[in-house]
Amino acid sequence: MKILFLDDDLLRHEIFAEQAKAGGHEAFHAHTVDEFAGLIDIHDFDQVFLDHDLNDFEFESKWADMYGTGEQNGIDAAKWLVSLLPERRPSKVVIHSWNPTGAARMRAILEENGFTDVQEDQFDQVVFFRRLAEWQKRGKHHKFLEFVVPEEKLKLLEWKNS
């Protein structure tokens, strides 16, 4: 299966690549809407995974929809999918954003325009924070470390999921 993964987060890309490889799938990665559009133009994908908030830890993009900064997000990617000829559309779209409002808007755009297999499946936070803690131990920087203490967040998530 040929899968396209749109997300600005390198750690999420790393996790997704491992999962795709383990499943025997061919994974393509886009970090911006422009990269996404470029790949969609030259490849046909069976599945597409979409994040909403691209560069979401930058103040300007957090408020892009409200203040019109021009920052592109997952809604622009959804609109790009809608613009494809029906025979070029992926059979399944998974919205993995942690932004429920953005995810709902993306889903509505896709479903209103004929996409029948659209799922909202948030990226697994427990897996993410475990890997984030590993990154931190290896001295790798991640933008999320500026906002949370991963060990505390991981303990909270494990407790909620038990």
CATH code of the region 2-123: 3.40.50.2300
Q: pLDDT averaged over the chain?
A: 81
For residue 76, pLDDT over 90 is answered with yes
For residue 11, pLDDT over 70 is answered with yes
Q: Are 96 and 121 in contact (CB under 8 A)?
A: yes
Please state which of the ranges 3-12, 17-26, 27-36, 60-69 shows the lowest mean pLDDT: 60-69
Give the CA distances from residue 45 to residues 33, 131, 149, in Å, rounded to whole numbers and listed in that order. Answer: 16, 28, 37
Give the CA distances from residue 94 to residues 52, 106, 137, 148, in Å, rounded to whole numbers and listed in that order. Answer: 11, 10, 31, 26
Q: How confident is the model at residue 10 (pLDDT cuts 50, 70, 90)?
A: confident
Cα 71 from Cα 76, distance rounded (Å): 10
pLDDT tens, 34-61?
899 999 999 999 999 999 988 654 434 4
Cα 94 from Cα 149, distance rounded (Å): 28
**The pTM is what?**
0.77
Q: Specify the residue for token string 């499946």.
A: 121
Residue 27 is predicted with a pLDDT of 94
Dihedral sign, CA of 141, 98, 121, 71? Answer: negative
Residue 127 is predicted with a pLDDT of 77
- Give the number of other CB atoms < 10 A from CB of residue 93: 25
Q: Specify the residue for token string 């930058």.
A: 58
Neighbour-count burial of 28, counting CB atoms closer than 10 A to its CB (0-12 exposed, 13-18 middle, 19+ buried): middle
Mean pLDDT value of segment 95-104: 90
Q: How confident is the model at residue 79 (pLDDT cuts 50, 70, 90)?
A: very high
